[in-house]
Amino acid sequence: FSHCVPTIIQMLLQAEAAKSIDLSGWKVIIGGSALPRALAMGALERGIDIYTGYGMSETCPLLTLAQLTPELENADLETQADYRTRTGRPVAMVQIRIVDGEMNDVPHD
């Protein structure tokens, strides 16, 4: 289990030395910037259990995680990539309020 920025995963997936390494079962939280869908697909195809996390140093640092629901765990990789690249839902002990520029609550699901 580890975490990194998208650039590190991209470098790893493109590295010649890593092409013969079995990465299945490796769990990775991506942060620092958005996880591109194509990069998520590349990681999933190599067996990496990859998720997007969002937070800031000031928030210690994780706020949300793009975890799959049990129904999505058996979905095809394309569908999983759509969910794994989203901002996600608040993690335990985090409360988030979504507002617009005027501080009005924004409906969310």
Averaged over successive runs of 10 residues, the pLDDT of the chain (109 residues) comes to 94 95 95 94 96 85 90 94 93 91 88
With respect to residue 95, please indicate whether it lies within any of the assigned structural domains. Answer: no
The span from the CA of 52 to the CA of 32, in Å, is 10
Is 12 part of any domain? yes
Phi, psi of 98 (to 5 degrees): -100, 125
Does this model's pTM top 0.75? My answer is: yes
**pLDDT at residue 57, as a whole number:** 77
**How buried is 26 (Cβ within 10 angstroms: 0-12 exposed, 13-18 middle, 19+ buried)?**
middle
- The pLDDT assigned to 109 comes to 65
Per the structure, the count of domains in the chain is 1
Classify residue 50: in a domain, yes or no: yes
DSSP alpha helices (H): ranges in 20-102? 37-45, 77-84
CATH number of the domain where residue 12 is located: 3.40.50.980
Task: Say if 101 falls within a structural domain.
Answer: no
Tell me the pairing of strands 62-65 and 89-90.
antiparallel
